Structure 1
Amino acid sequence: MLLPDMNLLPALDALLREGSVTGAAAVMNVSPSAMSRTLARLRRVVGDPLLVPSGRGMALTPRARELRPQAAAALGQALAALRPPPPVDLAEVQRDFVIRTNDSVAVVLGAALLARVAREAPGVRLRILPEGDEDPADLRDRVDLDLGALPETPPDVRTAHLAEHRYVAAVRPGGDSPARGPASAPLSPAGFVALPHVTVSRHGRARSVIDDRLAELGLERRVLATVPTFGAACFLALETDAYAIVPSGFAERAAAALRLAVHEIPLRLPAVRFDMSWHVRHDADPAHRWLRDTLAVLAGDRPRALVGERSAAE
C-alpha cells in the first residue's frame, strides 16, 4: 500500500483549524502561495475540496468538518511518538527484572540492591537466575542483565565494566596444621599447598591459572573437590581441612558468618573483571538504566567486596 506524504498532516490540521489559506500559512510559517499549493495537493489526496469560497472568506466542506478532529488527534499522536519519553516515576514501575549471575553477587551486592529496590522502586521484582551456558543471545529475549563475564558478545549486546576482584583462600581456623593459622599470619606458597583445595567450577574443571603459577615455583596442589557455588565451597572448608578458593568479597561475608579465616593467595594472579551486559533495546529504557546505574554505584561503593567471576577459578 502506497502511503500518503505524512508531511501533509500538519498543513491539513492548520487549514482545518484556521479555515483559511492565509491563516494556515501564518501558522506553518510559509507563504500564502505555498499553502495554496499544499491545499491543492491535499484536495487530490483526500478527494474533497476541503475549503471552498464563501463570501469574502472560505468555508469548510462537510468532509473537512469530519476530518478536523481526526487530523488534530493524528497530529497529536504523531508528535507524542516523536518526543523523548517522560521521566520515569520509579515508585510507579511494576516490572520483573531477570538477572543472571553467580551466588557471590547475591551475597555481596544482593542485600544493598534489595534495599534500594524496596526504597526507590517497590513495584520491581528481581528474578535472579543461576549461571548456565552464558549464551549472549539470551539477552535478546530471556535475560535482562548478565553480571559476570560473557564470552565474546555480538554487536547488539552492550557491556560495561563494573570492577575487578581477586581470589583468596578461606579455611577454618585453629587445629594442628600451621596452614590453618590465623588470618593475620601471611600464607607462604608452601603453606598454600599444605592443605587440599575446594574450587568452584560449573563444569567441574579443577585446573586454573593458580596451577600454572604453582608450577613455576615447582609446587603442585591437590584439588579435593570442585563445586558449582562459592557457598558450597565455604561450607566444605568449614567442615574439612581444605582451602575454599573464593572471591575476596564473598570470603569477607562468609568469614563473618561462618568464622572462617581468610588468607591472601601468595601468588601473582591476574585481577578478574566483573562486568554487566544487556541488549541494546534496553539502552534508553529508564527503569533498566536505573538498575544498571544502581549496580554500578553499589559495586563502586564496595571496593574491597568485589563479586566473583564465573570462570576465574575454573
Structure 2
Amino acid sequence: MTPMQLDLNLLAALDALLEEGSVAGAADRLHVTAPAMSRSLGRIRRSTGDQILVRTGRTMTPTPYAIAVRAQVHALLQQVQGVLAPSHELDLTTLERTFTLRWHDSLVALGGAALLAAVREQAPGVRLRFIAESSTDSPGLRRGEVDLEANANPPAAADVRAEKVAETAQVVVVRPGHRLAGEPAQPMTAEQYAAADHVAVSRRGNLSGTIDDALARLGLARRVVATAPSEATALEFVRDSDLVVTAPQATTRRASADLGLVVLPLPLDLPPASVYLSWHQRYDTDRAHAWLRELARTALDAPNRRA
C-alpha cells in the first residue's frame, strides 16, 4: 500500500494507538471493538513497515519510530478534521458534547457553579467534566484530553492559547482572635506578618514563592510550617490554629466567611493574582468551544465585579 492509498481512518486509529498505548484503550477512545482496532493496527504495520506497538510483559511499548511520529500524527489528524468538519451555525439547543475542564479547585469553587448553570440553561445537551489539577505539568491540552484549563499561570507551549480573564488582590486570612487581627485602626505591619507562622497553598508542595521574594526585598523572612494542596485545606488549618494563609481574595472570600475567619489586607506590595484560561489552538475556530470560553470568562470574573 502506498502512502497515497492510506485510509484516513487509519490516521485516527494510529493517533489513538499512540496516545493510549494499547489496542483496548484505542478501541474505547474511537468507540470500536478491540478486534476491529487490532485489524487497523495490522494494516498500519503493513503500511509503515513498523510494529508501532510491541508487547513487553502485560503492556505495549511504542517503537522508536512510533515515538518519533507521535506528535506529527496528532497534528495531521487535527488538520484533517479541521478541513473536513462542516461549517455551520451553532445550535445550542441541539448541541450534544462533553467538555473536560482542568481547573484549580479554588476556581471551580469560584466560578464552576455559575458556569454549569449557564451551560444547562443554554445547552442542556452539553456535559462538563471538571477534573483535578495534577501535581506535575500535564500535556492534556495538547493531547486533546482537556478542553479548557483555568489556573494562575499561563502555559509556555507555543500552540496553547492563554487569556487573562480576571485579577484579584492577595489577602491574609486568620482565625478570630488571632493577634494579627488587632484593631482596625492599627493595621498589620510587614514585620508582624513575617513573624507569624504560615501555611502556603501549593499543589506541588513549594515552601516559598513570590511572597518570600517580596519579604526578602524588605530584609524580612517568614516561616512556612506547612503546605496545603488547596485553599480549602489551608483554611481548615487556619481555623484551628494560629497559622496564617495568604490567598487570592476572590477565591477565599466566601469560604472564609463560611468558616467565620477574618480577612485582612496583605501588608506587602504584590501584584494581583491572575486567572488564566488556556486551550489548544485547534479550538480557536470551534464555535462550541468559543461559546464555552465566553461563559467561562464571565463565570470567573463575576465575583470580582461584585467585589
The match for 1:161 among 155, 160, 164 is 164
Q: List runs of 5+ in structure 1 lacking aligned partners.
A: 4-80, 307-314
How many corresponding residue pairs? Answer: 226
Amino acid at match of 1:143: V
CA RMSD of aligned residues (A): 2.6
Amino acid at match of 2:252: A
Amino acid at match of 1:164: E
1:207-229 CA distance string (max 9 Å, x none): 11211222232322111210111
The match for 1:146 among 145, 149, 172 is 149
Deviation at 1:87, TM superposition (A): 1.9
Matched, 1:288 2:292: no
| 8 A contact 2:141–2:148 mirrored in 1 | no
Deviation at 1:86, TM superposition (A): 2.5
1:41-78 CA distance string (max 9 Å, x none): xxxxxxxxxxxxxxxxxxxxxxxxxxxxxxxxxxxxxx
| Map of 1:302 onto structure 2 | 303
The match for 1:171 among 171, 174, 184 is 174
**Are residues 184 and 252 of structure 1, via their aligned partners in 2, closer, same or farther at CA, if it must alter by over 3 Å?**
farther
Work out the CA distance in 1 between the residues paired with 2:194 and 2:263: 15
Work out the CA distance in 2 between the residues paired with 1:251 and 1:83: 42
For residues 9-158 of structure 1, what are the structure 2 equivalents within 5 Å?
85-132=87-134, 133-136=136-139, 138-148=141-151, 149-154=153-158, 156-158=159-161
For residues 254-293 of structure 1, what are the structure 2 equivalents within 5 Å?
254-293=255-294
Matched, 1:180 2:184: no
**Are residues 136 and 276 of structure 1, via their aligned partners in 2, closer, same or farther at CA, if it must alter by over 3 Å?**
farther
Matched, 1:192 2:193: yes
Work out the CA distance in 2 between the residues paired with 1:304 and 1:184: 27
Deviation at 1:182, TM superposition (A): 6.7
Work out the CA distance in 1 between the residues paired with 2:183 and 2:288: 45
Q: List runs of 5+ in structure 2 lacking aligned partners.
A: 6-82
| Map of 1:6 onto structure 2 | none
Deviation at 1:253, TM superposition (A): 1.1
**Are residues 129 and 184 of structure 1, via their aligned partners in 2, closer, same or farther at CA, if it must alter by over 3 Å?**
farther
Work out the CA distance in 1 between the residues paired with 2:185 and 2:128: 38
Deviation at 1:85, TM superposition (A): 2.5
TM-score normalised according to structure 1 size: 0.65
The SS at the match of 1:179 is coil
**Are residues 185 and 238 of structure 1, via their aligned partners in 2, closer, same or farther at CA, if it must alter by over 3 Å?**
farther
**Are residues 82 and 146 of structure 1, via their aligned partners in 2, closer, same or farther at CA, if it must alter by over 3 Å?**
closer
| Map of 1:36 onto structure 2 | none
**Are residues 267 and 198 of structure 1, via their aligned partners in 2, closer, same or farther at CA, if it must alter by over 3 Å?**
same
Amino acid at match of 1:87: E
| 8 A contact 1:233–1:245 mirrored in 2 | no
TM-score normalised according to structure 2 size: 0.66
| 8 A contact 2:107–2:300 mirrored in 1 | no
Work out the CA distance in 1 between the residues paired with 2:128 and 2:185: 38
Amino acid at match of 1:297: T
* Percentage identity across paired residues of the two chains: 39
Amino acid at match of 1:161: K
| 8 A contact 2:200–2:246 mirrored in 1 | yes
| Map of 1:206 onto structure 2 | 207
